[in-house]
Structure 1
Protein backbone atom coordinates (compact mmCIF):
# COMPACT_ATOMS: atom_id res chain seq x y z
CA UNK A 1 0.00 0.00 0.00
CA UNK A 2 1.71 3.22 -1.11
CA UNK A 3 2.26 6.08 1.31
CA UNK A 4 -0.28 8.79 0.37
CA UNK A 5 -1.25 12.03 2.10
CA UNK A 6 -4.56 10.38 3.05
CA UNK A 7 -2.87 7.27 4.43
CA UNK A 8 0.69 7.80 5.67
CA UNK A 9 2.87 4.82 6.54
CA UNK A 10 2.57 4.35 10.33
CA UNK A 11 6.00 2.71 10.49
CA UNK A 12 7.63 5.67 8.73
CA UNK A 13 5.83 7.94 11.21
CA UNK A 14 7.13 5.84 14.11
CA UNK A 15 10.66 6.10 12.66
CA UNK A 16 10.38 9.91 12.58
CA UNK A 17 9.22 9.88 16.22
CA UNK A 18 12.13 7.60 17.16
CA UNK A 19 14.63 9.94 15.53
CA UNK A 20 13.06 13.03 17.14
CA UNK A 21 13.18 11.32 20.53
CA UNK A 22 16.94 10.89 20.14
CA UNK A 23 16.89 7.19 19.29
CA UNK A 24 18.02 7.54 15.67
CA UNK A 25 20.85 5.09 16.25
CA UNK A 26 18.33 2.25 16.81
CA UNK A 27 15.58 3.47 14.48
CA UNK A 28 16.56 0.99 11.73
CA UNK A 29 16.17 -1.91 14.17
CA UNK A 30 12.80 -0.62 15.38
CA UNK A 31 11.61 -0.25 11.79
CA UNK A 32 12.82 -3.76 10.89
CA UNK A 33 11.13 -5.39 13.90
CA UNK A 34 7.90 -3.45 13.44
CA UNK A 35 7.88 -4.21 9.70
CA UNK A 36 8.34 -7.94 10.29
CA UNK A 37 5.57 -7.93 12.89
CA UNK A 38 3.20 -6.14 10.51
CA UNK A 39 4.14 -8.46 7.63
CA UNK A 40 3.37 -11.40 9.92
CA UNK A 41 -0.09 -9.98 10.61
CA UNK A 42 -0.77 -9.45 6.91
CA UNK A 43 0.37 -12.92 5.85
CA UNK A 44 -1.32 -14.68 8.76
CA UNK A 45 -4.63 -12.99 7.91
CA UNK A 46 -4.33 -14.22 4.31
CA UNK A 47 -3.46 -17.76 5.45
CA UNK A 48 -6.31 -17.86 7.97
CA UNK A 49 -8.78 -16.65 5.33
CA UNK A 50 -7.64 -19.38 2.95
CA UNK A 51 -7.89 -22.06 5.68
CA UNK A 52 -11.26 -20.94 7.07
CA UNK A 53 -13.30 -23.29 4.80
CA UNK A 54 -11.35 -26.22 6.28
CA UNK A 55 -11.84 -25.02 9.87
CA UNK A 56 -8.06 -25.05 10.36
CA UNK A 57 -5.69 -22.60 11.98
CA UNK A 58 -2.22 -22.36 10.47
CA UNK A 59 -0.75 -24.26 13.43
CA UNK A 60 -3.20 -27.14 12.94
CA UNK A 61 -2.53 -27.10 9.19
CA UNK A 62 1.24 -27.28 9.85
CA UNK A 63 0.76 -30.30 12.11
CA UNK A 64 -1.41 -32.08 9.54
CA UNK A 65 1.06 -31.27 6.76
CA UNK A 66 3.96 -32.57 8.89
CA UNK A 67 2.09 -35.82 9.52
CA UNK A 68 1.14 -36.16 5.84
CA UNK A 69 4.80 -35.74 4.88
CA UNK A 70 5.98 -38.37 7.37
CA UNK A 71 6.59 -41.80 5.90
CA UNK A 72 4.18 -43.54 8.29
CA UNK A 73 1.67 -40.72 8.74
CA UNK A 74 2.48 -40.65 12.44
CA UNK A 75 5.05 -39.16 14.80
CA UNK A 76 5.71 -39.10 18.52
CA UNK A 77 4.12 -35.97 19.95
CA UNK A 78 7.49 -34.72 21.27
CA UNK A 79 9.07 -35.13 17.81
CA UNK A 80 6.19 -33.20 16.19
CA UNK A 81 6.72 -30.45 18.78
CA UNK A 82 10.44 -30.25 17.97
CA UNK A 83 9.94 -30.22 14.21
CA UNK A 84 7.28 -27.51 14.41
CA UNK A 85 9.45 -25.54 16.86
CA UNK A 86 6.60 -25.06 19.34
CA UNK A 87 6.10 -26.18 22.92
CA UNK A 88 4.60 -29.62 23.40
CA UNK A 89 1.61 -27.98 25.13
CA UNK A 90 0.77 -26.12 21.92
CA UNK A 91 1.05 -29.31 19.87
CA UNK A 92 -1.15 -31.15 22.38
CA UNK A 93 -3.79 -28.43 22.09
CA UNK A 94 -3.68 -28.65 18.26
CA UNK A 95 -3.92 -32.45 18.45
CA UNK A 96 -6.98 -32.20 20.69
CA UNK A 97 -8.72 -29.89 18.21
CA UNK A 98 -7.76 -32.09 15.25
CA UNK A 99 -8.91 -35.20 17.12
CA UNK A 100 -12.28 -33.58 17.80
CA UNK A 101 -12.58 -32.98 14.05
CA UNK A 102 -11.60 -36.59 13.24
CA UNK A 103 -8.43 -35.51 11.41
CA UNK A 104 -5.87 -37.22 13.70
CA UNK A 105 -5.83 -39.89 16.39
CA UNK A 106 -3.50 -40.69 19.26
CA UNK A 107 -1.95 -44.13 19.48
CA UNK A 108 0.33 -45.79 22.01
CA UNK A 109 3.88 -46.17 20.73
CA UNK A 110 4.42 -49.84 19.79
CA UNK A 111 7.76 -50.17 21.62
CA UNK A 112 7.91 -47.28 24.11
CA UNK A 113 5.09 -47.18 26.65
CA UNK A 114 6.07 -43.65 27.71
CA UNK A 115 5.43 -42.21 24.24
CA UNK A 116 2.23 -41.38 22.43
CA UNK A 117 2.03 -41.12 18.67
CA UNK A 118 -0.21 -38.77 16.72
CA UNK A 119 -1.41 -40.18 13.41
CA UNK A 120 -3.23 -38.50 10.54
CA UNK A 121 -6.55 -40.09 9.53
CA UNK A 122 -7.78 -40.52 5.96
CA UNK A 123 -10.09 -37.52 6.56
CA UNK A 124 -7.08 -35.57 7.80
CA UNK A 125 -5.08 -36.54 4.73
CA UNK A 126 -7.89 -35.42 2.36
CA UNK A 127 -8.35 -32.18 4.30
CA UNK A 128 -4.66 -31.27 4.34
CA UNK A 129 -4.28 -32.01 0.62
CA UNK A 130 -7.21 -29.72 -0.20
CA UNK A 131 -6.02 -27.04 2.23
CA UNK A 132 -2.51 -27.20 0.77
CA UNK A 133 -3.86 -26.69 -2.76
CA UNK A 134 -5.84 -23.68 -1.53
CA UNK A 135 -2.82 -22.16 0.26
CA UNK A 136 -0.64 -22.75 -2.80
CA UNK A 137 -3.18 -21.03 -5.07
CA UNK A 138 -4.37 -18.21 -2.79
CA UNK A 139 -1.29 -17.34 -0.74
CA UNK A 140 2.01 -18.99 -1.66
CA UNK A 141 1.76 -18.38 -5.42
CA UNK A 142 1.74 -14.62 -4.83
CA UNK A 143 2.66 -13.33 -1.39
CA UNK A 144 2.71 -9.75 -2.61
CA UNK A 145 6.35 -9.48 -3.68
CA UNK A 146 8.27 -10.88 -6.65
CA UNK A 147 9.86 -14.31 -6.55
CA UNK A 148 13.31 -12.71 -6.34
CA UNK A 149 12.21 -10.47 -3.45
CA UNK A 150 10.63 -13.48 -1.76
CA UNK A 151 13.93 -15.38 -1.93
CA UNK A 152 15.84 -12.32 -0.66
CA UNK A 153 13.38 -11.89 2.20
CA UNK A 154 13.74 -15.55 3.15
CA UNK A 155 17.55 -15.26 3.03
CA UNK A 156 17.55 -12.21 5.31
CA UNK A 157 15.20 -13.95 7.75
CA UNK A 158 17.42 -17.07 7.63
CA UNK A 159 20.33 -14.88 8.76
CA UNK A 160 18.24 -13.58 11.66
CA UNK A 161 17.13 -17.11 12.61
CA UNK A 162 20.70 -18.45 12.40
CA UNK A 163 22.04 -15.64 14.62
CA UNK A 164 19.31 -16.46 17.15
CA UNK A 165 20.43 -20.12 17.22
CA UNK A 166 17.30 -21.38 15.47
CA UNK A 167 19.41 -23.76 13.38
Structure 2
Protein backbone atom coordinates (compact mmCIF):
# COMPACT_ATOMS: atom_id res chain seq x y z
CA UNK A 1 0.00 0.00 0.00
CA UNK A 2 1.46 3.35 -0.97
CA UNK A 3 1.66 6.58 0.92
CA UNK A 4 -1.53 8.64 0.73
CA UNK A 5 -0.98 11.21 -1.99
CA UNK A 6 -2.11 14.78 -2.27
CA UNK A 7 -4.35 15.71 -5.18
CA UNK A 8 -1.23 16.95 -6.96
CA UNK A 9 2.38 16.45 -5.93
CA UNK A 10 4.00 19.55 -4.50
CA UNK A 11 7.04 21.05 -6.22
CA UNK A 12 8.83 21.72 -2.93
CA UNK A 13 8.80 20.48 0.63
CA UNK A 14 6.48 22.88 2.51
CA UNK A 15 8.25 22.15 5.79
CA UNK A 16 11.62 23.12 4.28
CA UNK A 17 9.97 26.28 2.97
CA UNK A 18 8.53 27.02 6.42
CA UNK A 19 11.99 26.49 7.93
CA UNK A 20 13.42 29.08 5.53
CA UNK A 21 10.62 31.46 6.55
CA UNK A 22 11.41 30.86 10.23
CA UNK A 23 15.04 31.77 9.61
CA UNK A 24 14.04 34.78 7.49
CA UNK A 25 11.82 36.07 10.28
CA UNK A 26 14.63 35.92 12.83
CA UNK A 27 13.74 32.62 14.48
CA UNK A 28 16.79 30.69 13.25
CA UNK A 29 17.40 29.14 16.66
CA UNK A 30 13.91 27.57 16.68
CA UNK A 31 13.82 26.67 12.97
CA UNK A 32 15.36 23.17 13.24
CA UNK A 33 13.00 22.23 16.08
CA UNK A 34 10.00 23.61 14.22
CA UNK A 35 10.97 21.57 11.15
CA UNK A 36 11.53 18.43 13.25
CA UNK A 37 8.24 18.68 15.14
CA UNK A 38 6.25 19.62 12.04
CA UNK A 39 7.85 16.75 10.09
CA UNK A 40 7.03 14.36 12.94
CA UNK A 41 3.41 15.50 12.96
CA UNK A 42 3.13 15.12 9.16
CA UNK A 43 4.76 11.68 9.32
CA UNK A 44 2.19 10.77 11.99
CA UNK A 45 -0.62 11.80 9.63
CA UNK A 46 0.86 9.70 6.82
CA UNK A 47 1.39 6.64 9.03
CA UNK A 48 -2.06 6.91 10.62
CA UNK A 49 -3.71 7.19 7.20
CA UNK A 50 -1.95 3.98 6.08
CA UNK A 51 -2.95 2.16 9.27
CA UNK A 52 -6.56 3.35 9.15
CA UNK A 53 -6.89 2.40 5.46
CA UNK A 54 -5.61 -1.09 6.27
CA UNK A 55 -7.97 -1.52 9.23
CA UNK A 56 -11.08 0.00 7.65
CA UNK A 57 -12.17 -3.19 5.81
CA UNK A 58 -12.13 -4.97 9.18
CA UNK A 59 -14.38 -2.33 10.77
CA UNK A 60 -11.92 -1.13 13.41
CA UNK A 61 -9.91 2.02 13.93
CA UNK A 62 -6.35 2.01 15.26
CA UNK A 63 -7.63 3.04 18.71
CA UNK A 64 -9.98 0.05 18.78
CA UNK A 65 -7.26 -2.22 17.40
CA UNK A 66 -4.99 -1.20 20.28
CA UNK A 67 -7.68 -2.22 22.79
CA UNK A 68 -8.18 -5.56 21.02
CA UNK A 69 -4.45 -6.29 21.03
CA UNK A 70 -4.01 -5.30 24.66
CA UNK A 71 -6.77 -7.77 25.55
CA UNK A 72 -5.29 -10.35 23.17
CA UNK A 73 -1.91 -10.12 24.92
CA UNK A 74 -3.42 -10.40 28.41
CA UNK A 75 -3.35 -13.82 30.08
CA UNK A 76 -7.11 -14.12 30.40
CA UNK A 77 -8.18 -12.02 27.43
CA UNK A 78 -9.69 -9.50 29.82
CA UNK A 79 -8.61 -6.43 31.74
CA UNK A 80 -10.20 -3.72 33.89
CA UNK A 81 -11.15 -0.67 31.83
CA UNK A 82 -9.00 1.57 34.05
CA UNK A 83 -5.94 -0.60 33.37
CA UNK A 84 -6.59 -0.45 29.61
CA UNK A 85 -6.55 3.36 29.76
CA UNK A 86 -3.34 3.34 31.79
CA UNK A 87 -1.51 0.88 29.53
CA UNK A 88 -2.58 2.69 26.36
CA UNK A 89 -1.73 6.05 27.94
CA UNK A 90 -5.07 7.59 26.99
CA UNK A 91 -7.91 9.25 28.87
CA UNK A 92 -10.54 6.85 30.23
CA UNK A 93 -13.16 8.56 28.06
CA UNK A 94 -11.24 7.47 24.95
CA UNK A 95 -11.24 3.88 26.17
CA UNK A 96 -14.96 4.06 26.95
CA UNK A 97 -15.65 5.24 23.40
CA UNK A 98 -13.49 2.49 21.88
CA UNK A 99 -15.05 -0.18 24.10
CA UNK A 100 -18.57 1.04 23.27
CA UNK A 101 -17.83 0.56 19.55
CA UNK A 102 -16.10 -2.80 20.09
CA UNK A 103 -18.97 -4.03 22.23
CA UNK A 104 -21.55 -2.94 19.62
CA UNK A 105 -19.59 -4.93 17.02
CA UNK A 106 -19.53 -8.01 19.27
CA UNK A 107 -15.75 -7.92 19.65
CA UNK A 108 -15.66 -7.42 23.44
CA UNK A 109 -17.97 -7.78 26.40
CA UNK A 110 -18.23 -5.55 29.44
CA UNK A 111 -18.97 -6.87 32.93
CA UNK A 112 -18.95 -5.49 36.44
CA UNK A 113 -15.72 -6.17 38.31
CA UNK A 114 -16.31 -8.93 40.89
CA UNK A 115 -14.51 -7.00 43.66
CA UNK A 116 -15.26 -3.37 42.76
CA UNK A 117 -18.76 -2.39 41.64
CA UNK A 118 -17.45 0.89 40.19
CA UNK A 119 -14.99 -0.89 37.89
CA UNK A 120 -15.62 -2.73 34.64
CA UNK A 121 -13.88 -5.75 33.14
CA UNK A 122 -13.53 -5.81 29.35
CA UNK A 123 -13.22 -9.26 27.77
CA UNK A 124 -12.25 -10.21 24.23
CA UNK A 125 -14.84 -12.34 22.43
CA UNK A 126 -13.85 -15.11 19.98
CA UNK A 127 -14.88 -12.76 17.15
CA UNK A 128 -12.73 -10.03 18.69
CA UNK A 129 -9.75 -12.39 18.85
CA UNK A 130 -10.27 -13.32 15.17
CA UNK A 131 -10.52 -9.66 14.18
CA UNK A 132 -7.34 -8.86 16.12
CA UNK A 133 -5.53 -11.68 14.31
CA UNK A 134 -6.75 -10.55 10.86
CA UNK A 135 -5.92 -6.93 11.61
CA UNK A 136 -2.44 -7.81 12.83
CA UNK A 137 -1.74 -9.90 9.73
CA UNK A 138 -2.89 -7.03 7.48
CA UNK A 139 -0.91 -4.40 9.39
CA UNK A 140 2.21 -6.56 9.45
CA UNK A 141 2.03 -7.11 5.70
CA UNK A 142 0.81 -3.74 4.46
CA UNK A 143 2.29 -1.28 6.97
CA UNK A 144 4.72 -2.55 9.60
CA UNK A 145 6.93 -4.62 7.26
CA UNK A 146 7.00 -1.74 4.75
CA UNK A 147 7.28 1.50 6.74
CA UNK A 148 8.90 3.38 3.86
CA UNK A 149 12.32 3.47 5.48
CA UNK A 150 15.36 1.20 5.47
CA UNK A 151 15.83 -1.20 8.37
CA UNK A 152 18.71 0.97 9.64
CA UNK A 153 16.59 4.12 9.42
CA UNK A 154 13.73 2.39 11.27
CA UNK A 155 16.06 1.34 14.09
CA UNK A 156 17.52 4.85 14.34
CA UNK A 157 14.06 6.42 14.29
CA UNK A 158 12.83 4.15 17.08
CA UNK A 159 15.93 5.00 19.12
CA UNK A 160 15.57 8.75 18.58
CA UNK A 161 11.84 8.77 19.31
CA UNK A 162 12.47 6.61 22.36
CA UNK A 163 14.86 9.23 23.71
CA UNK A 164 12.32 11.96 22.99
CA UNK A 165 9.56 10.02 24.75
CA UNK A 166 11.80 9.24 27.72
CA UNK A 167 12.82 12.89 28.14
CA UNK A 168 9.14 13.82 28.06
CA UNK A 169 8.45 11.40 30.94
CA UNK A 170 6.55 8.90 28.78
CA UNK A 171 8.30 6.02 30.54
What is the TM-score of this pair, normalised by structure 1? 0.95
Offset of residue 114 of structure 1:
2.4
- How far apart, CA to CA, are the structure 2 residues paired with 1:114 and 1:21? 55
Determine helix, strand or coil for the equivalent of 1:117.
strand
Map 1:147-162 → 2, pairs under 5 A: 147-162=151-166
Q: Which runs of 5+ in 2 are unaligned?
A: 4-9
1:36 aligns with 2:51: no
- State the Cα distance separating 1:108 from its structure 2 match: 1.4
Aligned counterparts of 2:91 and 2:20: Cα–Cα separation in 1:
38
The unaligned stretches of length 5 or more in structure 1 are none
Moved over 6 A (4+): none
| Residue equivalent to 2:106 | 102
* Cα shift readout 1:21-58 (whole Å, capped 9, x = no counterpart): 00001101000000000000000000001001111110
- Displacement, 1:148? 1.1
Distance 2:119 2:76 in 1: 16
Q: What's the TM-score once normalised by structure 2's chain length? A: 0.93
> What secondary structure, in the 3-state scheme, does the structure 2 residue paired with 1:61 have?
helix
The superposition leaves residues 136-165 of structure 1 with CA deviations (integer Å, 9 ceiling, x where unpaired) of 000000100011111110111111111111
Among candidates 93, 105, 108, match of residue 97 of structure 2: 93
C-alpha distance in structure 1 between counterparts of 2:67 and 2:59, whole Å: 14
Distance 1:72 1:123 in 2: 15
